[in-house]
Amino acid sequence: MTNFRNDFPILKQAIHGKPLVFLDSAASSQKPQCVIDTLVHYYQQDHANIHRGVYELSVRATKAYEDARVTIQKFIHAPRAHEIIFVRGTTEAINLVAQSYGRSRFQAGDEIIISAMEHHSNIVPWQLLSEQCGTVLRVIPISDSGELDMAAFEKLFTPRTKIVAVTHASNVLGTINPIKEMTKIAHTHHVPILVDGAQALPHMPVDVQDLDCDFYTFSSHKAYGPTGVGVLYGKTELLEKMPPYQGGGEMIETVSFNKSTFKKLPSKFEAGTPNIADTIAFATAIQYLEKIGMQTMVAHDQALLAYATQKLAEIPELRFIGTAKNKVGVIAFVLDDVHPHDIGTVLDHEGIAVRAGHHCAMPLMERFAIPACVRASFGIYNSREDVDALVAGLFEVKRLFA
């Protein structure tokens, strides 16, 4: 297993006198040196506002920003660069679709299909829309192993179904959902589908044309890029009919006190000065992934997942939350009689960073009848030694709470 740890300067430090073992990439991945270098170079050499300046710095910044759009377009195999809309993150992307596509089309009694494993970011925006328009949420149930009930999914469709919004990979369970199959089913009913790809994109190749999804959303910071940048991919024919989500500079064609007109895609949805530097650095992160190769990423992820699952299963009183056949490198678990927050605190003193809590998935916690759980999630910088450290740390937890 190739070790890319040296590419990530933050991992060279010690925590509480122990080497840092970072197992919280599902919350936010660490950044390789090349991404940090891009940010420094931009601010030292190229910073200026983009699109309207005719001077050299603005021209360079604009080119780098728009080149980033093309880099991301090609990475997810989107047909056209203008189908890549830059936002602050997956959360804003989903809100954009809910408010622009949904609010302009949906009426009281219309139905939105989501799943029981969704992150709050793919629940709350649709609830807000329901409060505004009177729409109804329909929820796909999941099995005890953490897999969608596909038969139940098909039965949820009615003439009032207006959109499906579902995660590609669960941020808690790690479950990879059959998006291509779900898209075919949705399209059979003439219903569009939005996919939350925040957890999938760092772990697997994504081809939006092959999936045939109507919207695909993801975040930079979970894919080795900076915080504060995300992407909404949408099919041209849908985006063109959607009204602007926000108003301001750059997205306008003309403005008068009587009426304003708006630019074409993608500018229509990118009001105001964007997060220029971090967007450019996100493209560097994508290029880093491409250099490694997504098949290498998949092989590393799956090998580490298999090793960790085997080792953790040997710990008495440990129970996995989510045992789907197809998973990304995310493992959630509980230890009998030890609160997840106590586990996280003890592991921190061993230099091990995991996430403990409800993971922005309270309905999922309720489904498994637990208040919280511990989550270990892997990145390209993790190794079997990290897993061994986690296992040793958990035995220390058991010793302290025996």
Task: Please name the residue that has the structure tokens 């039965």.
Answer: 155
Mean predicted lDDT score pLDDT of the chain: 97
H or E element in which residue 320 lies: strand 318-320
Q: What is the pTM of this model?
A: 0.97
C-beta of residue 388 within 8 angstroms of C-beta of residue 19: no
Specify whether 75 is located in the same domain as 193.
Answer: yes
101-137 residue pLDDT tens: 999 999 999 999 999 999 999 999 999 999 999 999 9
Q: How confident is the model at residue 1 (pLDDT cuts 50, 70, 90)?
A: low
- Dist. CA 257–CA 252, nearest whole Å: 13
Whether 111 and 252 share a structural domain: yes
Residues 63 and 177 both lie in one domain? yes
Confidence grade of residue 52 (pLDDT, cut at 50, 70, 90): confident
Distance of alpha carbon 340 from alpha carbon 315, whole angstroms: 15
Q: What are phi and psi of 335, to 5 degrees?
A: -115, 130
Strands (E), 82-191: 84-87, 111-115, 136-140, 161-167
Task: Retrieve residue 322's tokens.
Answer: 């989510």
What number of other Cβ atoms are within 10 A of residue 98's Cβ?
A: 27
Per-residue pLDDT, 61? 97
- Looking up residue 322, the CATH number of its domain turns out to be 3.90.1150.10
The number of domains in the chain is: 2
Q: Are residues 122 and 267 in the same domain?
A: yes
- Write the pLDDT tens digit of every residue in 73-91: 999 999 999 999 999 999 9
- What is the structure's pLDDT at 192? 98
Residues with Cβ within 8 Å of residue 314, at least 6 apart in sequence: 391
How far apart are the C-alpha atoms of 18 and 274, rounded to whole Å? 39
d(CA 229, CA 236): 21
Per-residue pLDDT at 60: 97
Q: Which residue has the tokens 């329901």?
A: 130
pLDDT digit string (tens) for 246-305? Answer: 999 999 999 999 999 999 999 999 999 999 999 999 999 999 999 999 999 999 999 999
Say if residue 52 is in the same domain as residue 113: yes
Q: 256, 290, 324 — which closes off a domain?
A: 290
Q: Which of 329, 309, 328, 327 is nearest to 319 (CA)?
A: 309
- Which of 274, 290, 306 terminates a domain? The answer is 290
**Final residue of a structural domain among 273, 290, 307:** 290
Identify whether residues 267 and 123 lie together within a single domain: yes
> Is residue 225 within 8 Å of residue 282, measured between CB atoms?
yes
Give yes or no: 213 in active site: no
Residue 396 sits in the same domain as residue 349: yes
- 182, 306: one domain: no
| The pLDDT value given to residue 262 | 94
Q: Do residues 22 and 11 lie in contact, with contact meaning Cβ atoms separated by under 8 Å?
A: yes
Per the DSSP assignment, residues forming a β-bridge with 233 are 84, 216
Alpha-carbon gap, residue 362 to 366, rounded angstroms: 6
Query: Per-residue pLDDT averaged across 211-220, rounded?
Result: 98
pLDDT value of residue 45:
98
Q: How far apart are CA 174 and CA 366, in angstroms?
A: 17
Both tokens of 271, joined, read 């009001």
Angstrom distance (rounded) from CA 275 to CA 324: 37
| Residue 402 pLDDT class (50, 70, 90 cuts) | confident
For tokens 């740890």, name the residue. Answer: 5
Q: For the segment 263-273, what is each residue's pLDDT rounded down to a tens digit?
A: 999 999 999 99
Same domain, 351 and 247: no
Considering just the CA atoms, what is the radius of gyration of the chain in Å? 22
16: left (phi over 0), alpha (psi -120 to 50) or beta: left
State which residues form the domain around 49: 35-290
Name the DSSP class of 177.
P
Query: Which one, of 11, 26, 14, 78, lies nearest residue 305 by Cα?
Result: 26
CATH number of 92's domain:
3.40.640.10
Same domain, 313 and 270: no
Q: Is the pLDDT of residue 194 over 80?
A: yes
Do 264 and 342 lie in one domain? The reply is no
Could you give the CA distance from residue 125 to residue 148 in angstroms, rounded to a whole number?
A: 21
Of 34, 133, 213, 360, the catalytic one is 360
pLDDT band per the 50, 70, 90 thresholds, residue 339: very high
What is the Cα–Cα distance from 126 to 22, expressed in whole angstroms?
33
141 preceded by a cis bond (ω within 30 of 0) = no
Query: Are residue 304 and residue 156 in the same domain, yes or no?
Result: no
